[in-house]
A and B are shown apart, each in its own frame.
Chain A
Amino acid sequence: MKKFFKIFGITLGSLVGLVLVVLCIALWLVFTPERLTPIVRSQVEKYVPCPTHIGRVELTFFSSFPRFELQIDQVAALNPQAQAECGDTLVRADRLQAAVDVKAFLQHRELRLSGIRLLDGRVCAYVDGAGRANFDLFPPSPDEPEADDDGGLPFGLIDVSTIELRNIDLSYIDRQSGMEATVRGLCAVADASLRPMDSLTVHLATEPFAVAYADSSLTAEVRGLAPDLSVALQGNRVQAGLHIQPQAVSLAYAGDAYLTDAEVGLDLQAVADLSRLSAQVEQLALSFNGLSLGIQGKASLDTVRGEVHTDLTYRLDLPQVQRLLASVPAAFHEYVDGIEAAGSLTAQGTVQGVYNDSTMPAVTAQVQLDGVSAACPDLLPFPLKQVDGNLAAYVNLQRDDTTFLQIDRLAVRTPQSRIALSGRADRLLSDPHADLTADADLHLPELAPFVPDSMNVTMAGRLKARVAARASLSQVEQMALEQIKASASLQFKDLAVAYDTLSLKTNDTRITLSLPNPNARTKHTGFAAAGIEADQLDVALGTGMQAALQGLNLDVETSDVRDTTRIPAVNLRLGLGFAQAGMDSMSVQIEQPEVAVSVAPQRRNAGQPRFSVKVGSGKLNADLGTDRVQADLLDVAATVFYNKNQEDIFLRWMPRGAFHLQQGVAHLAALPYPVELPQVKMDFTPRTFEIEQAGVHLGASDFNLAGKLDNILPFFRGDSILRGDFAFTSAHTDIDQLMALTSGLGSEEETAEDDATEAPAAPPAAEETPADTAAYTGPYMVPQGIDLTLHTDIAEASFNQNLITDVDGDVRVANGTLALEELTFTTPGSDIQLTAMYQTPRRNHLFVGLDFHMMKVEIADLLHMIPDLDSIMPMLRSFDGTGEFHLAAETNLDSLYNLKMSTLRGAASIRGEDLKLVDGETFAEIARMLRFKNRQKENQVDSLTAEFTVFRNEIDVYPFLIAIDRYKAVVGGRHNLDMSFDYNISLVESPLPFRASVEVSGNLDDMKFRLARAKYPDFYRPAARYEVKNKQQELRDLIKRSLVANVANKEE
Chain B
Amino acid sequence: MKKTFLYVLAVIAAALCLTSCQKEEPTFDEALLIGKWQEVGTQVFYTYASDYTGKTWDEADDVTEAEAQPFEWSLVQSTLTQIHIMEMGSNVPKTYTVTQLTSSKLVYEDDFGKEFSFNKVN
Binding site for B on A (CB under 8 A): 764, 767, 835, 837, 841, 844-845, 847, 849-851, 888-890, 892, 894, 900-903, 905-907, 949-951, 956, 973-974, 982, 1031, 1035, 1038-1039, 1042-1043, 1045-1046
User: B25 contacts the other chain (Cβ, under 8 Å)?
Assistant: no
Across the interface, name the chain A residue whose C-beta is closest to B81.
Answer: A1035
- B93 near A888 with CB under 8 A, answer no
- B90 near A888 with CB under 8 A, answer yes
Interface residues in B87-107 by Cβ distance below 8 A to A read 87-95
Q: Which of A847, A903, A907, A974 contacts B90 (CB 8 A)?
A: A907
Residues of A contacting B67 with CB < 8 Å?
841, 845, 892
- A1043 near B61 with CB under 8 A, answer no
Residues of A contacting B112 with CB < 8 Å?
973-974, 982
- A905 near B63 with CB under 8 A, answer no
What's the nearest-Cβ distance from chain B to residue A1040, in Å?
9
- B63 near A907 with CB under 8 A, answer no
**Additional A-B contacts beyond A847-B87, A851-B90, A903-B57 (18; CB < 8 A):** A845-B67, A850-B88, A888-B90, A890-B87, A892-B67, A902-B58, A902-B61, A905-B86, A907-B86, A907-B91, A950-B92, A956-B94, A973-B112, A982-B112, A1035-B93, A1039-B90, A1042-B90, A1042-B91
The CA-CA distance from A840 to B69 in the complex, in Å, is 16
Residues of B contacting A851 with CB < 8 Å?
88-90
What's the nearest-Cβ distance from chain B to residue A906, in Å?
7
- B92 near A837 with CB under 8 A, answer no
Across the interface, name the chain B residue whose C-beta is closest to A1039.
Answer: B91
Mark B66-93 against chain A: 1 for CB-CB distance below 8 A, else 0. 0101000000000000011011111111
Residues of A contacting B69 with CB < 8 Å?
903, 905
What's the nearest-Cβ distance from chain B to residue A907, in Å?
4
- Scoring B57, B67, B88, B89 by chain A CB atoms within 10 A of each residue's CB, the highest score goes to B88
- B88 near A890 with CB under 8 A, answer yes
Across the interface, name the chain B residue whose C-beta is closest to A994.
Answer: B15
| A951 and B88 contact, Cβ closer than 8 Å, known pairs A764-B62, A894-B62 | no
Q: Which of B61, B63, B88, B95 contacts A849 (CB 8 A)?
A: B88
User: B40 contacts the other chain (Cβ, under 8 Å)?
Assistant: no
What's the nearest-Cβ distance from chain A to residue B4, in Å?
13
The CA-CA distance from A545 to B60 in the complex, in Å, is 62
- B92 near A905 with CB under 8 A, answer yes
- B91 near A1038 with CB under 8 A, answer yes
Across the interface, name the chain A residue whose C-beta is closest to B42.
Answer: A902
The CA-CA distance from A900 to B69 in the complex, in Å, is 12
- B87 near A949 with CB under 8 A, answer no
User: B44 contacts the other chain (Cβ, under 8 Å)?
Assistant: yes
Residues of A contacting B93 with CB < 8 Å?
949, 1035, 1038-1039
Residues of A contacting B58 with CB < 8 Å?
900, 902-903
What's the nearest-Cβ distance from chain A to residue B104, in Å?
23
The CA-CA distance from A902 to B60 in the complex, in Å, is 9
Across the interface, name the chain B residue whose C-beta is closest to A1046.
Answer: B89
Across the interface, name the chain B residue whose C-beta is closest to A1031.
Answer: B95
The CA-CA distance from A902 to B58 in the complex, in Å, is 6
Across the interface, name the chain A residue whose C-beta is closest to B67.
Answer: A845
What's the nearest-Cβ distance from chain A to residue B59, in Å?
9
- Scoring A888, A894, A905, A1035 by chain B CB atoms within 10 A of each residue's CB, the highest score goes to A905
- A888 near B86 with CB under 8 A, answer yes
Q: Which of B57, B83, B87, B89 contacts A1045 (CB 8 A)?
A: B89
Residues of B contacting A1043 with CB < 8 Å?
90
| A844 and B62 contact, Cβ closer than 8 Å, known pairs A905-B69, A1038-B83, A1038-B93 | yes
What's the nearest-Cβ distance from chain B to residue A765, in Å?
8
Residues of A contacting B57 with CB < 8 Å?
902-903
| 30 sampled A-B residue pairs with Cβ under 8 A | A764-B62, A837-B88, A850-B88, A851-B88, A851-B90, A888-B86, A888-B88, A888-B89, A888-B90, A892-B63, A894-B62, A900-B61, A900-B63, A901-B61, A902-B44, A902-B61, A903-B61, A903-B63, A903-B69, A905-B69, A906-B92, A907-B86, A949-B92, A949-B93, A951-B84, A951-B94, A982-B112, A1031-B95, A1038-B91, A1039-B90
- B61 near A890 with CB under 8 A, answer no
Residues of B contacting A844 with CB < 8 Å?
62
Residues of A contacting B60 with CB < 8 Å?
902
What's the nearest-Cβ distance from chain A to residue B82, in Å?
9
Residues of A contacting B83 with CB < 8 Å?
1038
Binding site for A on B (CB under 8 A): 44, 57-58, 60-63, 67, 69, 83-84, 86-95, 112
- B63 near A845 with CB under 8 A, answer yes
- Scoring B58, B62, B63, B83 by chain A CB atoms within 10 A of each residue's CB, the highest score goes to B62
The CA-CA distance from A1039 to B92 in the complex, in Å, is 7
The CA-CA distance from A1043 to B93 in the complex, in Å, is 13
Residues of A contacting B86 with CB < 8 Å?
849, 888-890, 905-907, 1042
- Scoring B61, B69, B90, B95 by chain A CB atoms within 10 A of each residue's CB, the highest score goes to B90
Residues of A contacting B63 with CB < 8 Å?
845, 892, 900, 902-903
Residues of A contacting B95 with CB < 8 Å?
1031, 1035
Residues of A contacting B94 with CB < 8 Å?
949, 951, 956
- Scoring A841, A903, A1031 by chain B CB atoms within 10 A of each residue's CB, the highest score goes to A903
Residues of B contacting A837 with CB < 8 Å?
87-88
The CA-CA distance from A889 to B92 in the complex, in Å, is 10
Across the interface, name the chain A residue whose C-beta is closest to B62.
Answer: A764
Residues of B contacting A892 with CB < 8 Å?
61, 63, 67
What's the nearest-Cβ distance from chain B to residue A950, in Å?
7
Across the interface, name the chain A residue whose C-beta is closest to B69.
Answer: A903
The CA-CA distance from A844 to B61 in the complex, in Å, is 10
The CA-CA distance from A900 to B63 in the complex, in Å, is 9
The CA-CA distance from A391 to B87 in the complex, in Å, is 98
- Scoring B44, B61, B63 by chain A CB atoms within 10 A of each residue's CB, the highest score goes to B61
What's the nearest-Cβ distance from chain B to residue A311, in Å?
110
- Scoring B44, B58, B87, B94 by chain A CB atoms within 10 A of each residue's CB, the highest score goes to B87
The CA-CA distance from A343 to B58 in the complex, in Å, is 110
The CA-CA distance from A907 to B61 in the complex, in Å, is 22
The CA-CA distance from A951 to B63 in the complex, in Å, is 16
Residues of B contacting A1045 with CB < 8 Å?
89
What's the nearest-Cβ distance from chain B to residue A427, in Å?
86
The CA-CA distance from A198 to B44 in the complex, in Å, is 148
Residues of A contacting B62 with CB < 8 Å?
764, 767, 844-845, 894, 900
What's the nearest-Cβ distance from chain B to residue A995, in Å?
11
The CA-CA distance from A210 to B60 in the complex, in Å, is 132
Across the interface, name the chain A residue whose C-beta is closest to B15.
Answer: A994
Residues of B contacting A894 with CB < 8 Å?
61-62
- A951 near B61 with CB under 8 A, answer no
The CA-CA distance from A973 to B92 in the complex, in Å, is 15
The CA-CA distance from A835 to B61 in the complex, in Å, is 26
Across the interface, name the chain B residue whose C-beta is closest to A895.
Answer: B62
- Scoring A767, A847, A902 by chain B CB atoms within 10 A of each residue's CB, the highest score goes to A902
Residues of B contacting A902 with CB < 8 Å?
44, 57-58, 60-61, 63
What's the nearest-Cβ distance from chain B to residue A481, in Å?
68
Residues of B contacting A906 with CB < 8 Å?
86, 92
Across the interface, name the chain A residue whose C-beta is closest to B113.
Answer: A982
Nearest 10 interchain pairs by C-beta: A902-B58, A764-B62, A888-B90, A900-B61, A1042-B90, A1035-B93, A849-B88, A907-B90, A949-B92, A888-B88
Residues of A contacting B90 with CB < 8 Å?
851, 888, 907, 1039, 1042-1043
What's the nearest-Cβ distance from chain A to residue B70, in Å?
11
Across the interface, name the chain A residue whose C-beta is closest to B112.
Answer: A974
- B44 near A849 with CB under 8 A, answer no
- Scoring B44, B67, B93 by chain A CB atoms within 10 A of each residue's CB, the highest score goes to B93
Residues of A contacting B88 with CB < 8 Å?
835, 837, 849-851, 888-890
- A905 near B84 with CB under 8 A, answer yes
- B92 near A951 with CB under 8 A, answer yes
What's the nearest-Cβ distance from chain B to residue A753, in Å?
20
Across the interface, name the chain A residue whose C-beta is closest to B93.
Answer: A1035
- B92 near A907 with CB under 8 A, answer yes
The CA-CA distance from A799 to B116 in the complex, in Å, is 45
What's the nearest-Cβ distance from chain A to residue B7, in Å?
12
